[in-house]
Amino acid sequence: MPLHVPPAPAPALRSVLTALSSPTAVSEARTPSLLGAEGTASPELPLPVHVLDRVTTEGVSATRLTGWRFLIRCGDQAVAAADTVLTPDGWTFSRFFEGPYIASTELALRQAEALPQPYQPRLLSVPGLYMLALWLHGDRTADGATGHPAATDLLVPLAPAPPGIAAHRPYRAAELLPVLTHRVTPDRLLGSPA
């Protein structure tokens, strides 16, 4: 089934396009794959990034939107990603980066497209475990900037995943969130992942 990617705020997309057209922003990004990419780089697949602030022992979670992430594609592959954040002046470009989460995100999205049920893709960051997961929200018409994982939503940990949690295996939120509760102490939830 096709994924229903929520639309990113127009200012977030504009800020990434502006950064991509800035030689200074690209050269200072320390992303060799973006610097060495041939062809036109374009931002695609905007995904809202939510941070998991709290999980109860019952698996009920509290999340908040922290930004939008765009995969930066050159030709047929993603070579980097761009993050945007909300400031008092609106959505603005934050950074370009590369690393294992880029390929892992693409793989998880391809796997999700093969599922029989349509989902709305999001990213869920668990700072206390340095974990990032593709969050497949069952309500594909929901506002991508709001909400919390429903018990039936799927969470697909991206590689590298924390020890004991299989990367690229879809877990029901009701199954994975209680596991995270036992692994994350309250002060570790307050940290910020890279």
Question: Does the reported pTM lie above 0.85?
Answer: yes
Which range has the worst mean pLDDT, 45-59, 64-78, 154-168? 45-59
Which range has the worst mean pLDDT, 3-7, 23-27, 50-54, 115-119? 23-27
pLDDT class of 33 with cuts at 50, 70, 90: confident
User: Which pLDDT score, from 0 to 100, does residue 187 have?
Assistant: 47
Question: Which string of DSSP letters, residue by residue, matches 4-27?
Answer: -PPPPPHHHHHHHHHHHT-HHHHH
* Between 180 and 131, the higher pLDDT residue: 131
pLDDT class of 192 with cuts at 50, 70, 90: very low
User: Which pLDDT score, from 0 to 100, does residue 184 have?
Assistant: 67
Residue 125 near residue 9, CB atoms below 8 Å: no
Model confidence at 4: pLDDT above 70 = yes
Q: Burial-class residue 186 by CB neighbours within 10 Å (0-12, 13-18, 19+).
A: exposed
Average pLDDT over residues 142-157: 93
The kind and range of the H/E element at 125 are: strand 120-126
Residue 68's nearest CA partner among 144, 163, 159 is 144
Tens of pLDDT along 43-64? 999 999 999 877 665 556 678 9
Tens of pLDDT along 76-117? 889 999 999 999 999 999 999 999 999 999 999 999 999 999
